[in-house]
Structure 1
């Protein structure tokens, strides 16, 4: 871990057994609301591609996309801790990872994240005093098959080996996605860095969800997710009601209007004719 960074707080939370709360954020209003609600880490994830930008895959997300949304999140929550994803193919070498990570930091990220067991990239970023979150298990940028990873003993052992290598390299955090609870618990107990689970059970040091999944604003739902609202239904109803009101002349109403004073109106009408 880079020296004396804001990430130190999460190591302390792990030691104290205090759960870490992470949630994706892609825009300023959402970031402000999440921060005020007490979310510990705002994740500008590559999930912005499929949930906000209309891309078919996380692989289409560009560095400019993540920088753009990181800036928006930083404007909405100036004091928040922000974690931003390095997009697909932007960290093929330590040199490339460092160049692109610096762009994310300049955009407002406190920490950057990449997928896979690549200790050399962790070492390069940490040497440049950039905090790193690693991501193993299901890797959305690299795995076509969106299924649970580490179900077999051999695959679970490989995940543990990867986590230990990344921890030794100096990562500041580890996301475990779609892995059995038993495996996530074993990894959490063996690494120094705090772990964050998504579909990884109850034994990680924290949890993360995608905000659009949590709110129910898309049609997708997943076993690992819990919908805390049905905002999509509320939005649909609001849109339909607005259309109906405009078409029947109910909007705008008197309460939505602005008028000239009688004196100015008289002058205007006389000059207009």
Structure 2
């Protein structure tokens, strides 16, 4: 509850909220040490870490596994875990799925779409909910959503409905900056943008995108490192050194004490004799 109040207070004061995705203990540990406000264990783990073709392939077991790992790495940071595709189709299913992720270490859950009834059901169970509107990776094509009057009006109305139902935070993904700004002004919950302009109350990015794991980049992203290039270069250098006999050297291991080696060699010679 203290964290939820803190996020609300940050919105009130105009302090930006910094969120990143994390999928394992080292990523989460680095983010906690940096002071990140909240960690999102997103279903983006599927395409970024697990090699799936889409977020739809991510299972509840996958999400629990990676939530536990992130919690071990960041014991003191607020963690939001995604409810994966087809795990919140009914209030009963949503409740069971959310409890499972809560037991895995999540402080809150996030789901896509305008389902205020689910927000209320989970709220009665003491499970905070983060909403997600605009581009919804589980449900629609990757593009900016809200560029037509019809889409913009619906997203705005959906945001209001989720806010009234009690979401503590709302992710707006690939939405026009003007729409995101209007929603941010209109609702109580802090808005967290990703490709939704600078006027939201905070931002979230996918950590592998931030680190530059892949050669492909996205317009909404900013790469703060080129870890992918470093990984490829490191693997290539390792390969060449192993094949050339340059690695390992004796310095990379250990040797026998001289007296033990002498006795060992004598024993070997005696056995051969």
Class of the TM-score when normalised by the shorter of the 2 chains: over 0.9
Please give the alpha-carbon distance, in whole angstroms, between the structure 2 residues aligned to 1:135 and 1:246.
48
Instruction: Give the alignment of 1:1-40 within 5 angstroms.
Output: 4-40=1-37
Q: Which residue of 2 aligns with 1:97?
A: 94
Please give the alpha-carbon distance, in whole angstroms, between the structure 1 residues aligned to 2:109 and 2:268.
61
Please give the alpha-carbon distance, in whole angstroms, between the structure 2 residues aligned to 1:183 and 1:231.
34
Gaps of 5+ in 1: none
Q: Which residue of 1 aligns with 2:42?
A: 45
- Superposition deviation, residue 256 in structure 1: 0.6
With structure 1 as the length reference, what TM-score do the two structures score? 0.96
Please give the alpha-carbon distance, in whole angstroms, between the structure 1 residues aligned to 2:268 and 2:125.
68
- Superposition deviation, residue 217 in structure 1: 0.5
- Superposition deviation, residue 260 in structure 1: 1.3
Q: Which residue of 1 aligns with 2:54?
A: 57
Tell which deviates more after alignment, 191-200 or 213-222. Answer: 213-222
Q: Which residue of 1 aligns with 2:119?
A: 122
Instruction: Give the alignment of 1:205-220 within 5 angstroms.
Output: 205-220=201-216
- Superposition deviation, residue 264 in structure 1: 1.7
Instruction: Give the alignment of 1:151-166 within 5 angstroms.
Output: 151-166=147-162
Please give the alpha-carbon distance, in whole angstroms, between the structure 2 residues aligned to 1:220 and 1:65.
25
Tell which structure's C-alpha radius of gyration is larger: 2
Please give the alpha-carbon distance, in whole angstroms, between the structure 1 residues aligned to 2:224 and 2:61.
31
Instruction: Give the alignment of 1:126-141 within 5 angstroms.
Output: 126-141=123-138
| CA offset digits 1:16-70 (Å, max 9, x no partner) | 1110000010011111011111211111100000011010010000000000000
Corresponding position: 1:87 with 2:69: no
Please give the alpha-carbon distance, in whole angstroms, between the structure 1 residues aligned to 2:87 and 2:133.
17
Out of 262, 268, 272, the position equivalent to 1:272 is: 268
- Superposition deviation, residue 5 in structure 1: 4.8
Q: Which residue of 2 aligns with 1:113?
A: 110
With structure 2 as the length reference, what TM-score do the two structures score? 0.96
Q: Quote the RMSD (CA, aligned, Å).
A: 1.0
- The question of whether the paired residues in 2 share the 8 Å contact of 1:6 and 1:110 is answered with no
Q: Which residue of 2 aligns with 1:66?
A: 63
Please give the alpha-carbon distance, in whole angstroms, between the structure 1 residues aligned to 2:115 and 2:216.
31
Structure 1 runs (4+) greater than 6 angstroms displaced: none
Query: How many matched pairs?
Result: 269
Secondary structure at the aligned position of 1:33 is classed as: helix
Q: Which residue of 1 aligns with 2:248?
A: 252
Q: Which residue of 1 aligns with 2:167?
A: 171
Q: Which residue of 1 aligns with 2:139?
A: 142
Q: Which residue of 2 aligns with 1:194?
A: 190
